[in-house]
Chains A and B, each alone.
Chain A
C-alpha cells in the first residue's frame, strides 16, 4: 500500500473507528503509526469527526416532539375488506348507501366546501398575491376594515411567532374575504377570514375541519360569526401547535 492509498483510506474511514477492523484500513492505520505525516492527518481527521459527531448529536430536539408524533398518528390497519367477515356486511351496506350517497354528494359539492376549494387553489396560483405589504398587524387590521373586509379577527396564539407579510381582499357574491399572509421559518401560510359567511355548511365551532384543496391542506374553524381557513401548514404541525392539553386553541 502506498502512502497516498493509505491517506485516502484514512480520509474515507467512518468516525469512531467503525472501519478499523477492515483489513485495508487496519493496514493504513499501521502505516500511520510509523509515518508522522500520516499520523498528523489521522489525528486531524479524528478530531474533526469527533467534533462533528458531537455537533450533530447535540442539535436540540424539541421536548414535546415525541409526544406530538405519537399523539397525532394512528397506524393504518389493513383495509376492512381484507377481512372476509366484514366484506359481506360491507357489500350489503354499500348497496344501501349508494342511493343516499348520490344525494349527499349533491349537497356537499356546493356551499362552503366548494367555495373554500376555489378560494385556496386560485389564491395560491396568484403571483404577486398581496395588495398590502406590511408586517404591522394594526395596519393590516385598519386596511382590511377600511376596505370593508374582516379586520377585527383573532390571530391564533399558535401563530404569534409567525412573520406577517401583508393582506389581500377577495370578493365573493358581494362578500369580502380577508387574506393575511404569514411565514414561519420557511413555511408560507395563508389565513383567510370571513365575517358573516353566507353558507349553510360552515365548519364547526371549537374544532377544526380538515380538507385538502388541490395541493394545499386546509384547516377551517368558526368562532362566533367569523370563519377562519388556514392553509400552508402540515396537519401534524397544525395538531401539535393548535391542540394543547387535549383542547383546541384555535382563535386568540
Chain B
C-alpha cells in the first residue's frame, strides 16, 4: 500500500507522542528519544509499502522504534562515551509543588532506574493500551516472558515507589550506557 500525505500526517498526529515517550523510557535522553522518534517516522515514509494496513501502523511504529534502539545501542557500545550521570540532567524535571505531579515524576524516575528488560515491556504496558500479545510482538519475545518481566518489573516499581514514596528523585541511571 502507499500512504497519502493526509493519512501519513494522521498517523504522525496519532502516534508521535506515545512513540516519543516510549523512546524516552528506553533511551533516557531527550535528544536520543527525539532521534529515535524522527527516524521511525522517516522509516515509515520510506517503507510505507511494507505496511499492509493503516490499522497495523501502531504495531509497526513501536516495533521499528524498538529495533532502532537496539541497533543503536549495539553500535554505540563500540564507542562508549556516556558516563552514568550524563543522561541524568536530561530527565524531565521534577515539580515538587504539586503532589499529583510529584507522583507522576516519581513514577518516571522509578521506571528509568530499572533495567531495560523490565523498562521496555512496562513502558508499553502503561502506554497506548498494548496487550501482552502486542508487547511480545514489538519486543520479539515470547508472551510468557512478557508476563514474567511485567510481573517482576511491577514488583520492582512498587518497591521503589513504596519504599521511597514521593521523594524518589532521578538518581544516576542503572547502566552506564544508553543510546
A residues at B contact (CB < 8 Å): 11-12, 14-15, 18, 44-45, 48-49, 51-62, 65-66, 68-70, 72-78, 124, 127, 163, 165, 183-188, 215, 233-237, 240
Contacts and interface: CB of A to CB of B under 8 A. Distances in A.
B168 to A, nearest CB: 11
A51 B3 CA distance: 37
A48 B158 contact: yes
Contact of A185 (B75, B90, B126, B127): B90
A12 B147 contact: yes
Nearest to A181: B81
B31 to A, nearest CB: 4
A48 B157 contact: yes
Q: What 6 pairs between A and B have smallest CB-CB spacing?
A: A55-B107, A236-B38, A185-B29, A185-B31, A56-B126, A55-B104
Contacts of A58: 92, 101, 104-105, 108
Nearest to B177: A186
A56 B105 CA distance: 9
B39 A234 contact: yes
Contact of B39 (A44, A78, A183, A236): A236
Given A12-B147, A14-B125, A75-B3, A65 B37 contact: yes
A195 to B, nearest CB: 27
Given A14-B125, A54-B103, A69 B38 contact: yes
Residue with the highest number of chain A CB atoms closer than 10 Å, among B13, B104, B105, B129: B104
Nearest to A236: B38
B20 A65 contact: yes
A52 to B, nearest CB: 5
Interface in B15-42: 16-17, 20-21, 24-25, 27, 29-32, 34-35, 37-39, 41-42
B122 A186 contact: no
Contacts of B150: 12
15 contacts: A55-B105, A56-B21, A56-B25, A59-B24, A59-B25, A61-B21, A65-B16, A75-B45, A76-B45, A76-B47, A183-B82, A185-B27, A236-B38, A237-B38, A240-B38
Contacts, number: 163
Given A56-B111, A240-B34, 14 more contacts: A11-B154, A12-B151, A55-B108, A61-B16, A62-B20, A66-B12, A69-B37, A78-B49, A163-B86, A165-B81, A185-B178, A186-B76, A186-B82, A236-B39
Given A56-B127, A59-B92, A61-B17, A183 B86 contact: yes
Nearest to B155: A11
A68 B17 contact: no
B29 to A, nearest CB: 4
B136 interface: no
A9 to B, nearest CB: 11
Contacts of A237: 31, 34-35, 38
Contact of B27 (A72, A75, A165, A186): A186
Contact of B45 (A62, A73, A234): A73
Contacts of A233: 35
